[in-house]
A and B are shown apart, each in its own frame.
Chain A
Amino acid sequence: MIEGTLVNLRASEMADLERNTRWINDREVTRFLSIRYQMSLAAEEAWMRELVSKPLSYDRPFFAIETKDGVHIGNTNLFNVRPEARAAELGIMVGEKAYWSKGYGSDALRTLLGFAFGEMNLNRVELFVYDFNARARAAYRKCGFVEEGARRQALFRAGAYHDLVVMSVLRAEWEAVRDA
């Protein structure tokens, strides 16, 4: 496993299925994610069977987030990895709401960034965050992410258009945060 301070990152297992399904059907969780429709246990099972059937790799860095007590609280991954540019997009979901705003998400982010820059040798990690997700934007800033701008009204959720804020952290910026 990949060790953080409050959490560890490990490969997903089929045993995570019910929790993952519960989280992505919870609209308090998905209002900040690009998930709108409900997901059946069967559809999630098919997706997870595919996920866990192959070893994690440069193209598929997908991790379950566990507290140090072994409680599975969410998932985090990199995707759209572009080796020439050494860049990837980051996604994170803390599905267990009891663990929101307590530093677990930030620690998972720092742990994944340590892996992305320290092991995958990336130069840039980027993400899109909804403008109304102030908690996430603050967490990303703490980890060294910089706001690069916003795709205006690119997202329609809950009856209105919203901006998609683009953030990224470059290798040197990450190293400054890590060593601080």
Chain B
Amino acid sequence: MIEGTLVDLRAVEMTDMERYTLWFNDPEVTRFLNRRYQFSLAAEEAWLRENTGKPLSYDHVAFAIDTKDGVHIGSIAFHSASPENRCAELGITVGDKAYWSRGYGTDAMRTLLRFGFDEMNLYRIELTVDARNERAQACYRKCGFVEEVRLRQHRFAEGAYHDTLWMGLLRDEWAAAQQAGGEVRR
């Protein structure tokens, strides 16, 4: 497993299925995600079978987030990693709402960022976030992400169009932040 301070990242297993199904059918969880339709246990099972059946690799980086007590609280992944650009897109869901706003998501982010820069040798990590999702943006800023783009009227949900922000973090910025705050953080 990949160790953080509050959480560990591990490979996803079939036994995670019911929790994922619960989370991805919870409108409070999916509110800012691109998952508006409901998800059957069978569809989730097919998806998990496909994805747990192959080893994690540069092209397939998806981890379950466990607390240090072994409670599975969410998932975190890189999508569309490009080796030429050394760039990947990050996505995170803390599905267990009891663990929101307590630093678990931020620790999972820092743990995956360290893996992305120190092990995958990425140069840039980016993500998109709903402009209304201020809790997530605060977390991303704490991790060093910079707001780069405002995609106007990019998503439609809850009866209206909403902006999406693109945020990015470069390797040098990450390294500088580690040097400044690394000792405290570890």
> How many residues of B are counted as interface, with CB atoms below 8 angstroms from the partner's CB atoms?
23
Contact partner of B124 (CB less than 8 A), chosen from A36, A85, A146, A153, is A153
Per the 8 Å Cβ criterion, residues 138-153 of B in contact with A are 146, 148-153
Q: Are A166 and B154 in contact (CB under 8 A)?
A: no
Q: Are A148 and B151 in contact (CB under 8 A)?
A: yes
B residues near A151, Cβ cutoff 8 Å: 126, 148-149, 166, 168
Q: Please, what's the 1-or-0 string for B152-171, where 1 marks a CB less than 8 Å from any CB in chain A?
A: 11111100010000101010
Counting chain B CB atoms within 10 Å of each CB, which of A123, A126, A149 scores highest? A149
B residues near A148, Cβ cutoff 8 Å: 149-152
B residues near A126, Cβ cutoff 8 Å: 151, 154
Q: Are B85 and A156 in contact (CB under 8 A)?
A: yes
Closest CB of chain A to B127's CB: distance in Å? 11
Closest CB of chain B to A82's CB: distance in Å? 8
Q: Is A150 an interface residue (CB 8 A)?
A: yes
Q: Is B119 an interface residue (CB 8 A)?
A: no
Q: Are B152 and A168 in contact (CB under 8 A)?
A: yes
Closest CB of chain A to B82's CB: distance in Å? 8
- Return the chain B residue nearest A84 by Cβ: B156
B residues near A146, Cβ cutoff 8 Å: 152
Q: Is B97 an interface residue (CB 8 A)?
A: no
Contact partner of B153 (CB less than 8 A), chosen from A36, A84, A156, A170, is A170
Q: With A151-B126, A154-B126, A156-B86 in contact, is A124–B153 under 8 Å at CB?
A: yes
Closest CB of chain B to A139's CB: distance in Å? 20
Q: Are A152 and B151 in contact (CB under 8 A)?
A: no
A residues near B126, Cβ cutoff 8 Å: 151, 154
Q: Are B161 and A149 in contact (CB under 8 A)?
A: no
Q: With A148-B149, A149-B150, A149-B166 in contact, is A86–B86 under 8 Å at CB?
A: no
Per the 8 Å Cβ criterion, residues 131-178 of A in contact with B are 146, 148-156, 161, 166, 168, 170
Main secondary structure of the interface of A (DSSP, over half): strand
B residues near A85, Cβ cutoff 8 Å: 153-156, 161
Q: Are B170 and A152 in contact (CB under 8 A)?
A: yes
Distance in angstroms between the alpha carbons of A150 and B157 in the assembled complex? 25
Closest CB of chain B to A75's CB: distance in Å? 23
Distance in angstroms between the alpha carbons of A161 and B85 in the assembled complex? 8
The 9 residue pairs across chains A and B that have the minimum distance between CB atoms: A149-B149, A85-B156, A166-B149, A156-B85, A149-B148, A84-B156, A148-B149, A154-B87, A85-B155
Can you report 15 residue pairs joining A to B where beta carbons are below 8 Å apart? A84-B36, A84-B156, A85-B154, A85-B155, A85-B156, A85-B161, A86-B156, A123-B153, A123-B161, A124-B154, A126-B154, A149-B149, A150-B148, A151-B166, A166-B166
17 more CB-based (< 8 A) A-B contacts, given A126-B151, A126-B154, A170-B152:
A84-B156, A84-B157, A85-B153, A87-B154, A123-B153, A124-B153, A151-B148, A151-B168, A152-B168, A152-B170, A154-B124, A154-B126, A155-B85, A156-B85, A156-B123, A161-B123, A168-B152
